[in-house]
Amino acid sequence: MPFYEGFLHTEGGATIQMVYVNAPLFNSENRGRSVELLVEEVERFEAETGVEVHVSGLPYIRTEVTTKIKGELGLFIGLAAFVTALLLLLFFRNPVVMAVCMLVVGTGVVWSLGSIVLFDYKLTALMGLIPPLMIVIGVPNCIYLVNKYHAEFKRHGNKGLALTRMVKKVGNATFMTNATTSWALRRSCSPPAMS
């Protein structure tokens, strides 16, 4: 076809075939299985004929990227949790402190994803960054709070007073740093205002 001249360069010969598919189906949530069936058909054709086939197109790329993000989301959460747990263990040299900090951060991750679903927002690729980001942001807060608690407890030996002073002295600062971080993230992710 003359339209494709100059777009495709091969030494042997190549054919470009455009396949029109049901557009509403490929723009819906059910496109994953349809793309899988199409790719299986292409692989069967390759096996039967020995012809190398390359698949492209927006529905195919969307499905592949979404599948990769879903697969890597668990990996990133696991790696972030492992690295931060290891750092906590190195800092405090106490598995109980590490477990409590990870439990607090894990609870925050579950609550954040739960509230996203509760308010009926769709989970997108960008929202897939929330759990690892919360782990990475939450662990330093745990470190500040635990360090302040240990310092206060060492000073007078009273657990209740140490907790109270920790919340008074570090709690407000931690809250404000997290509020400004979330505000900055919100501003960087929102579309620019039209003037």
Same-domain status, 138 and 103? yes
> pTM score > 0.75 for this model?
no
Same-domain status, 108 and 156? yes
Same-domain status, 11 and 104? no
78-98 pLDDT tens trace: 888 898 889 889 888 889 988
pLDDT reported for residue 131: 84
> Which position has the higher pLDDT, 72 or 19?
72
pLDDT reported for residue 64: 81
Identify whether 60 is part of a domain. no
CA distance 94 to 88: 8
Identify whether 161 is part of a domain. yes
Mean pLDDT of 98-114: 89
pLDDT reported for residue 1: 55
Return the top range by mean pLDDT from 57-71, 123-137, 146-160: 146-160
Question: Based on the structure, what is the number of domains in the chain?
Answer: 2
